Each structure stands twice: as structure tokens, then as C-alpha cells.
Structure 1
Amino acid sequence: MMTSLVVPGQPLGVATAYVPGTGVHIFNNQIIASLVGKVVTIPNASNTATTSSAPPTISVVKPVLTPEEESSSSTLLPDVSSTVLCRITRINARQATAAIFVVNDRIVGDEFQGVIRVQDVRLTEIDKVKIFTSFRPGDIVRARVISLGDQSNYYLSTASNELGVIMASSESGDSMYPINWREMKSVRTGAVEERKVAKPF
């Protein structure tokens, strides 16, 4: 069975529930995606000697594209109002820079650079927004293209409930999960860090 697109670092389930296949690894007893792609789970045959079923194998695979789709993906460009997934690469007081790798649920052939300016992080209390408490390098963010910007950057916005950080690691390197719209919690230590969190679909 195939599910929606996943990104590197995304938890897929507890290690005891699956046999790891290709495109995944185990970290802190969790099956973690190692690449951008689709999740595939394959049921394993029952063990007749014990009458019990082995856990299904879980893998992440890159979508198989037709030559036409592959050609269009390599030239796929973000446009105004496109929804993108991007990885934060660096931050400063005024903006976060990100590498765009998915446009409208399609993996792009080449990564594009985007910028989330401090005024485009959220809709409310814009004067109180701080980039350093909204994003960290390595965060995976769902954003919307609001301007084609200049020749090197697309301008992105997370100023909507469904936009923002969807995956993040703590300062100690642990996976985190959202506890509200502005905080995420480490699965291992319970430490809480601030983020501009995307509301899950």
C-alpha cells in the first residue's frame, strides 16, 4: 500500500511493528524515512510453524515516473500560490533561507532556493515574530510561494494555520512532535522548543 509523500527524517512507526526495507533506517526504536518518496508496506506471509504473522515490510521508494513526467519534473518550477516543502538551510534575524525540494506534491529535479522573511512567518503579532524561535536549520517546512522574488530566491510564506514546520529535530538531535502551534517536544527527553508549527492535515 502506498501513502502520501514523506521526507527524510520523518517517523513512520515503531520498529517492532515493521521489518525495515529500503529507504528507511531505525533510530530510537522508530522507523525513519531516509529519502523523499512514497511509503510502501508489504505484508509478510504467515509463519505456518507458529501460526503467527511476521510484521509487514516498510520501505520508502521514489515514485516511478513516465518519461514525460520525468521531463516535466526536471523543469518543474514553483509558481505563485504553489505549496512547497523545503528544508531550512540557514537563518538570520531577518529571514530563513530554505531549499525547496517538493512543489505541489511533486519532487523537483533540482532544488530551488526560497526565503521566508520575518513579516511572512505568521498572520498575527507580526511585530513580535523572531526567526530564531520560528525555524532552525534542518527543519522541514510546508510553505506557500507568495512571490517569484529575484533571480536567486522565491519568497515563501508560512502565514497560515496549515503552513509551518512539519518535521524538526531537537538541539540534541532527537525527533520532535508538535504540542501546539508554537512548540514542539522531543520524543526522547521531553524538552520543548519553539517553532512556527504547521497544523497537521
Structure 2
Amino acid sequence: MDGMAAVDSHGDGDLVSPGELLGDSLDLIAGRGAYVAPNGRSVRASLTGTQRVTPPQPGAPDQRSTVEVVGHRAQGAVPQPGSVVIARVTKVMARMASVDIMCVESKAVKEKFTGIIRQQDVRATEIDKVDMHLSFHPGDIVRALVLSLGDARAYYLSTAKNELGVVSAQSIAGGNMVPISWTEMQCPLTGQVEHRKVAKTA
């Protein structure tokens, strides 16, 4: 009789990728390489690496286990022009979106790096018709290419290739949306369709 059922959707040591569901915040604390999604419940991976679940200390006030995702290298990564980053959208404006860079290639960053996706860098075609609010929403997880270090220590990022763009997004209802086209994602809970600049996954 083991009596200790796993509360997360992965086992200790499993390889996970950015945006992948690790478990519920009622059961797990998000440690390094993990974050709580905007719905406040889903704990997800912020980088590619190995999942590690640490049980709580006996007598600790919070009796949830801590889940971490350990990247392939321990040192903090630094964005460089030409590298691909995973970032979380923090703010969307008329001509740009601000993001917090979470990992470079598959390595986690240890300090805060800010990125900006400008209107002209969202996609490769019909650049003048890009609507930032129909491309990204706050809380979206995006895959982007670093173009350069821009103003005020913010990196200029691009999502203008097919494989770049939104890789994980929460709907208003709290569902993890599914891509249905290059420009749309659908909530599996309500069927509601929302516009995004979707990254090609296959």
C-alpha cells in the first residue's frame, strides 16, 4: 500500500517543454523553471528541462510539494542576437508588445531581461495591417527571435517566421487554447475563438 499518489501530471525526472502543464497550484508550488499560469491554477514549465518535485519539509506551514524544471545547463543564459527565446507577454500596446524573457534556447535566465515585439516584427507579410491586440494578449507565452538590444535595455524580438509566435495561451475562461489556424486559437471549454499570431508547432 503506497498511499502516495502523484499529484502532478508528470513523474520526477520527466522531460518537459515550455508551456507544458506540470500540475495544479493547489498541490504544487512553482519553483525555478516553472510558473503559475494567468488562471491562477495551472503550474507550467517555463523552459525545456527535467522536472523535479521536492516534498515539503515536515511541519512546514505550506504542505505542497515544490516543482522545478532543471534546464540542461545550470548557469543563467543571456539573450544574444540570433537566439530564440521563450517569453511571457506582459503588456500589449498599439505599436508594440512588452515581454519578460524566461529562457534562451532551452536555458533559463537568472536575471530579468525585457523584450519588445514591435508592430513591424510580428509577421513577414502585410506588416502595415498588423493589429497588436489581435496578435498577443498579456500572459501569452511566445517563441521569438532576438534581433538586437534595443532602447532602455530591452531586446527587440521578432515573431515573423512561421515557427515563431504564441505557443501557449489561456482563454478568458481559463482553458489552454488550441491553435486552429495561423491567426486563431480556440478555447476547448467554451469554443470561443481568439486571435493570435500563432507559432507553427509541427
- With the shorter chain as reference, the TM-score category is 0.7 to 0.9
Contact 2:50 2:69 in 1 (8 A): no
**Larger Cα Rg: Structure 1 or Structure 2?**
1
Contact 1:174 1:188 in 2 (8 A): yes
SS state at 1:62 partner: strand
CA distance in 1, matches of 2:29, 2:117: 34
CA distance in 1, matches of 2:195, 2:43: 24
How far has the Cα of 1:187 moved from its partner?
1.2
Query: Cα deviations across residues 98-154 of structure 1 (Å, max 9, x unaligned)?
Result: 000100110010121000000000001111100000000000000000111124210
Which consecutive unaligned segments of at least 5 residues does structure 1 have?
42-58
CA distance in 1, matches of 2:95, 2:71: 39
CA distance in 2, matches of 1:5, 1:161: 19
Structure with bigger helix share is 1
Match of residue 62 from structure 1: 69
CA distance in 2, matches of 1:11, 1:159: 27
Match of residue 153 from structure 1: 154
How far has the Cα of 1:92 moved from its partner?
0.7
2:18 is equivalent to residue 6 of structure 1: yes
Match of residue 172 from structure 2: 171
Q: TM-score, normalised by structure 2?
A: 0.72
Which consecutive unaligned segments of at least 5 residues does structure 2 have?
1-12, 53-65
Give 2:46's aligned amino acid.
Answer: V
Inter-CA distance 190–79: structure 2 relative to 1 (3 Å threshold): same
CA distance in 2, matches of 1:100, 1:86: 4
Inter-CA distance 101–133: structure 2 relative to 1 (3 Å threshold): same
Inter-CA distance 97–40: structure 2 relative to 1 (3 Å threshold): closer
2:59 is equivalent to residue 36 of structure 1: no
Structure with bigger strand share is 1
Match of residue 136 from structure 2: 135
Q: How many residues align?
A: 168
User: After TM superposition, where is structure 1 displaced by more than 4 Å over at least 4 residues in a row?
Assistant: 20-24
CA distance in 2, matches of 1:4, 1:189: 27
Query: Cα deviations across residues 135-183 of structure 1 (Å, max 9, x unaligned)?
Result: 0000000000011112421000000000000000112332211011100
Contact 1:35 1:60 in 2 (8 A): no
